[in-house]
Amino acid sequence: MSSSSAFGSSGSGSSPASPLSTLTFHFVSMSLSILNCSVYGPQSRKYFDVVTNDEVAGHTFLYDHDCQIRAVIDWELEHPEVEVRGVVARQLVTQWMTLSETKSYRLMEAQGRQYEWSPQGNAICLYKVGKSAPSEMFAQISRKDGTVTLDMTPQALHAGLLETLVIATLLFQSGLPDHLLTITIIYVQQGPFRGIPDDVGRLLNALLGRRLVMKMSVDLLANQIPGNVLHTIIRHILSIYTSVDMKPTDHYCSLDHPCRIVFAILSPFFDLRLVASSWNSGIKNTLQSLRPTSGSGDSFFKRVEDAYYPHPWHINTKVRKYVLLRRYRVHHTISDRGVYLAYNFGTLPAGCLDANEVVIKAWSDPRDRECVTEASVYQTLDKLTGVPDVKANMYDPHCSVYVIVLQKLGPTLEDLMRAMPEGRFNEKMVLGVAIQMLDRYKNVHSRGIIHNGMKPANICLPPPRRPTFISHPDLDQDTRDTDIGRGASTLYPIDFGLSSFLSPDETQPSDRRADTIGNRCFLSVFGHHGITQSQRDDLESLAYLLSFLRHGYLPWSAPPPPTVQSHATEPAHKLHFCPNSSLPSYVSPQVWRLKTSTPASVLFKGMDDEFVEFFRVVKGLAFNEVPDYDAMKGRFEDCWRRRGFNADGSQTGKVDWWAIWKAVQGEEI
């Protein structure tokens, strides 16, 4: 298949390209064409995102992994311009890459040196221009099975040519396969449309009879078709694709950001944009007319919710107008603090048919304190056992929001408590929580992070097993979570927006009052007074949580109900938290007074002595003193064995949370 690039032909050759000892970069398309893709290099590391933004019509941006623009192509002008920051000054593409008189190669200048692009077989190769004939190959661009590959030598990388070669690849590979031009002409000629001038019809017959495709003629043809006729043609072609080759109700994606299946089906339609400027404008206008509101939002295939958000500036509206990061479709609000459930159709081979759910946290202002803290904490805790996998942690320029995409976990301990017949855990479950959370906090604290977010709603059960629609070695990490299944006992702490960083060198709390904000029921006494948080404060909060899980209330929260109705009549048991528990700690000082005056014997009434001992040890810790987590955990494990909780064959400290959840929900285990 030959190709007519939007940049222009680079000539053709007969000899194959020479093998290189190179670094390989793959252009993985996630949207309409190579002008919307990601560039992956050695060790499958993502180096760049290529974004052609419809809101900034006619511009292609190259973003690095820090979301900084490294290069831009301006297609809006009559002749495209290019700029590579710090390497190539803004100039016309035709001046930057000049075609030789023989039209057999192109000369390119970068970093004050000249290079030559020359076709070799099925590849386009780059050579350094010198006094002698070019011999040393620096890079080559090739396409196979729809995948574009850039191979470059280490010398080219050291010369600072990476961004330059990526831009050159985009220019060379942004063209339209010639057979699609012929298909377009045939369709226009044979389609049931009137109003096409006779001279255009004669031109069509001439082109078809000679089986020639000439860019100039196609430009003339497209520009002479009346706008209303062109719009009708485009709408009709799109309706054929979407009604015959796919079922729109099966897809969460959009025309602007299709999944793999939709992209494969619609790619010939979208390639029509490269026929001529009139086709490009016509398709843009068609897509614009299909969007929910004029000038905004993606044209989604499937409606996923009936929620209505009237304010365009609100975060709930922003995340629903677009496909986030070109792969996530929000469909449910978990919290009014910008937490959502979304479908991830990503790069899975089955696209939306195998879409799985993820949790998205979004902020309109990337400088928001919680946003900065949570993004930094998840980067620090990356790959740590018992911490949610982070799928993405970046700014989305298309939607103008900062998003953290997290693995979807199971229900929270709060959900489980509400479902329990008496609204509280039994002794074995509480011991399981204690053992699990000591392991979690040992690892989190070792990375210099203080959670400061302890409460039942911030601890999740492990993710359930999710059958995949299709088995494929390229399935992304969303479908290969390691801690899944009914027997998994790992608990996951979440919500690190109020966390703090603690250096091992800090031996004294700050002399400035810390603005500690959290759930007052579980906040440490020092937290109430604004004293810098450390390991002891997280463990004190854990002690309060263990008491709450066992009793269903705390001495300083609402009193327990006088009677408890059966599970059949009250499936969601009322939990007793501190009122207005999300307010700053200094609003209600009586809570910390109750905490200091409540003895451990009352706090852990009816519970094993190990809980009293745990609380005594925690309260005796100094600021930033590293606790003996293993000794604490060992005492709880001894209690587990002494109480005979291994009799059912379970391992020490292992609780089958999903079996309990299914049992209280009346589901089959």
Listing DSSP states for 29-74 in one string gives E-SSSTTSEEEE-GGG-EEEEEEE-GGGTTEEEEEETTS-EEEEEE
The pLDDT tens digits for 365-410 are 999 999 999 999 999 999 899 999 999 999 998 889 999 999 999 9
Q: Is residue 286's pLDDT more than 60?
A: yes
- Report yes or no: 407 and 463 within 8 Å, Cβ to Cβ: yes
- The CATH number for 413-463+505-562+575-664, chosen from 3.30.70.60, 3.40.1010.20, 1.10.510.10, 3.40.50.10540, is 1.10.510.10
Give yes or no for residue 153 having a pLDDT over 60.
yes
- Tokens representing residue 248 in the block: 């729109």
| Cβ neighbours for 478, distance < 8 A, ≥ 6 positions apart | 344, 346, 356, 358, 391, 407
Q: What is the pLDDT of residue 403?
A: 96
Looking at residue 238, what is its pLDDT? 75
DSSP codes, 88-111: EEEEEHHHHEEEPTTSS-EEEEET
DSSP letter string, 357-412: EEEEEEES-TT-HHHHHHHHHHHHTTT-TTSPPEEEEEEETTTTEEEEEEE----B
Beta bridge partners of 460: 412, 492
Q: Which of 13-17, 172-176, 313-317, 624-628 has the lowest mean pLDDT?
A: 13-17
| 413-463+505-562+575-664 has the same fold as 3-174 | no
Mean pLDDT along residues 89-94: 90
Mind listing the pLDDT tens digit for each residue in 36-50? 888 999 988 889 988
- Phi/psi for 401 (5° steps) reads -140, 155
CA distances from 48 to 40, 41, 61 (A): 7, 9, 10
* SS3 category, 140: strand
Q: Please state, in angstroms and rounded to a whole number, the distance separating the CA atoms of residues 667 and 669.
A: 6
Res. 321: pLDDT tops 90: no
Q: Which of 186-190, 216-220, 498-502, 631-635 has the highest mean pLDDT?
A: 631-635
Q: Helix, strand, or coil here: 552?
A: coil
Residue 6 in tokens: 């939007």
H helical segments located in 144-258: 154-158, 162-173, 178-190, 198-210, 215-224, 227-244
pLDDT band at 229 (very low <50, low <70, confident <90, very high): low
pLDDT beyond 80 at 427: yes
Token digits of residue 336 = 């009014």
* Structure confidence at residue 591 as a pLDDT band (50, 70, 90): confident
| DSSP-derived 3-state class of residue 257 | coil
- How far is CA 439 from each of CA 37, 215, 386, 504, 565, rounded to the nearest angstrom? 40, 66, 9, 19, 36
Among the CATH numbers 3.40.50.970, 3.10.20.30, 3.30.200.20, 1.10.8.590, which is that of 315-407? 3.30.200.20
Cα separation, 634 vs 145, whole angstroms: 57
Q: Which CATH architecture has domain 3-174?
A: Beta Barrel (2.40)
Which residue shows structure tokens 């990375």? 447
In whole angstroms, give the CA distance from residue 542 to residue 455: 8
The average confidence (pLDDT) of the chain is 78
Give residue 574's pLDDT: 58
Which has more confidence, 66 or 196? 66
Whether residue 187 is predicted with pLDDT greater than 60 in this model: the reply is: no
Mean pLDDT of 89-111: 86
User: Encoding tokens for residue 420?
Assistant: 């329990």
- Say which range, 151-155, 190-194, 367-371, 456-460, has the weakest mean pLDDT: 190-194
Please identify which residue in the block is written with the tokens 């509480």.
430
pLDDT digits (tens, 9 = 90+) for 550-574: 999 999 885 555 544 434 344 445 5
Taking the C-alpha atoms of residue 381 and residue 462, their distance in angstroms, rounded to an integer, is 17
| Distance, CA of 449 to CA of 372 (rounded, Å) | 14
**The predicted structure's pLDDT at residue 285:** 80
Torsion 144-392-33-17 (CA) sign: negative
Going from N- to C-terminal start, the domains of the chain cover 3-174, 178-290, 315-407, 413-463+505-562+575-664
Largest interatomic CA distance in the chain: 97
Q: 615: closest CA among 533, 509, 542, 508?
A: 542
Share of the chain above pLDDT 70, in %: 72
3-state secondary structure of 341: strand
Q: What is the pLDDT of residues 328-351, one digit of tens each?
A: 999 999 988 899 999 998 877 888
The segment with the largest mean pLDDT, out of 142-151, 279-288, 451-460, is: 451-460
